[in-house]
Amino acid sequence: STTPVNVTVTGAAGQIGYALLFRIASGAMLGPDTPVRLRLLEIPQAVKAAEGTAMELDDCAFPLLDGVDIFDDATAAFDGVNVALLVGARPRGPGMERGDLLAANGGIFGPQGAAINAGAADDVRVLVVGNPANTNALIAASSAPDVPTERFTAMMRLDHNRALAQLAQKTGTGVADVTNVTIWGNHSAKQYPDVAHATIGGRPAPEVIGDDAWVTDTFIPTVAKRGAAIIDARGASSAASAANAAIDHVRDWVLGTPAGEWTSVGMVSDGSYGVPEGLISGFPAVSTGGAWEIVQGLSVSETAQAGIDVSVGELTEERDAVKELGLI
């Protein structure tokens, strides 16, 4: 269709925003036949910087870019939105307790969820990138009672892609040969990256790796702590790789996952795999007909279940904390 898709990006003037907007406008997210209209939401102090980014978007002369609008008001920014990328969040400042962090983000994601509820298009799809992503998605979803909770997702795809890269490097294969990894639980250092059902070049990953100790002692912590390693090396947090993961997530959501392959998505639990119903947790998921579905019936070892439970325990604590704060 030639009707432009309305894509709202929050935190548009931030570093992920800068890596994300140009790829959306180039067609990398919604495909080469879909025009997009970008709606950028920023706080007032960052509107000028967003305007500078919009000038550069103009200067790219992207054929698929139908226009760019800039807002400092959530209700206006989400009016008619089809795809919402919630990137802007309150980072943890010095001496900030977890409760303060959750409350500050509740003050962002609650009103944004309400604005989505008020004005979004019927087909709205929401991806939360801003941390703590899973719990921010839960807050936004519970502020949008008229939007199906399934439309609110949190980004596990960067962790997933990090896992693919580590496995390809370890086994001397290409990332395209690695399939069906799962990142379970929270997008945090307590996530559980799982290779039990993964394949590498069509063979079971554990067999190709041939080194269970490497999986436990190197792979899992490397993937889980990769964000900190990037900060250490780059002096700034992951930006281009985070933007790329957001593109991958939305592209697969809208256009579908390849047959027989799943990816990792932070999505509302239906109670599968012992994850309490209603939490937004990382799951193995396929996208068909424009909707994510949790891959059901995978065997989970005792060790894996223990790893999932630890991560889900953290999500439960975050949910209880935001409930106590009256944010959900």
Q: Which is nearer to ligand NAX, 129 or 205 (CB)?
A: 129
Q: Tell me if residue 243 falls in helix, strand or coil.
A: helix
Closest CA to 190 of 167, 221, 161, 154: 221
CB of 132 to ligand NAX, least distance (A): 8
Residue 13 as a binder of ligand NAX (CB under 6 A): the answer is yes
CB of 8 to ligand NAX, least distance (A): 10
Contact string (CB under 6 A) for ligand NAX, positions 175-214, x = contact: ------------x---------------------------
Residue 57 as a binder of ligand NAX (CB under 6 A): the answer is no
d(CA 167, CA 172) in angstroms, rounded, equals 8
Residue 284, preceding bond cis, omega within 30 degrees? no
Q: How far is CA 24 from CA 128, 145, 147, 233, 318, in A?
A: 16, 28, 24, 27, 32
Contact string (CB under 6 A) for ligand NAX, positions 218-247, x = contact: ---------x---------xxx--x-----
d(CA 178, CA 165) in angstroms, rounded, equals 9
Those residues whose C-beta lies under 8 Å from the C-beta of residue 168, and which sit 6 or more positions away, are 174, 175, 177, 178, 200
Residue 161 as a binder of ligand NAX (CB under 6 A): the answer is no
Q: Tell me the HSE value of 222 on the side-chain side, using a 13 A CA sphere.
A: 15
Residue 41 as a binder of ligand NAX (CB under 6 A): the answer is yes
Q: What DSSP string runs through 192-204?
A: EEE-TT-EETTEE
Residue 88 as a binder of ligand NAX (CB under 6 A): the answer is yes
Main-chain phi, psi angles of 179, to 5 degrees: -135, 160
**41-49, 188-196, 215-223, 315-323 -> range binding ligand NAX (CB under 6 A):** 41-49
Q: Are 49 and 13 in contact, with CB atoms under 8 Å apart?
A: yes
Q: Which is nearer to ligand NAX, 70 or 208 (CB)?
A: 70
d(CA 133, CA 153) in angstroms, rounded, equals 9
**128-136, 201-209, 214-222, 254-262 -> range binding ligand NAX (CB under 6 A):** 128-136
CB of 323 to ligand NAX, least distance (A): 21
List, in sequence order, every residue forming a beta bridge with 293; answer none if it has no partner: 286
Residues between 265 and 324 with contacts to ligand NAX, criterion CB under 6 A: none
Among 3, 31, 43, 174, binds ligand NAX (CB under 6 A): 43
Among 130, 185, 193, 307, binds ligand NAX (CB under 6 A): 130
Closest CA to 283 of 216, 275, 247, 188: 275
Residue 75 as a binder of ligand NAX (CB under 6 A): the answer is no
Residue with tokens 């500050």: 104
Residue with tokens 């109670």: 271
- The amino acid present at 28, given as its one-letter code, is A
Q: Which is nearer to ligand NAX, 20 or 28 (CB)?
A: 20
Among 38, 46, 124, 198, binds ligand NAX (CB under 6 A): 46
**95-103, 130-138, 164-172, 303-311 -> range binding ligand NAX (CB under 6 A):** 130-138
Catalytic residues: 187
Report the residue number whose CB is nearest to ligand NAX. 14
Chain CA centroid to CA 179, Å: 19
**25-33, 35-43, 117-125, 172-180 -> range binding ligand NAX (CB under 6 A):** 35-43
Q: What DSSP string runs through 204-231?
A: EHHHHH--HHHIIIIIHHHHHTHHHHHH
Chain residues in the site for ligand NAX (CB under 6 A): 10-11, 13-17, 41-43, 46, 87-89, 91, 108, 129-131, 133, 155, 158, 187, 227, 237-239, 242
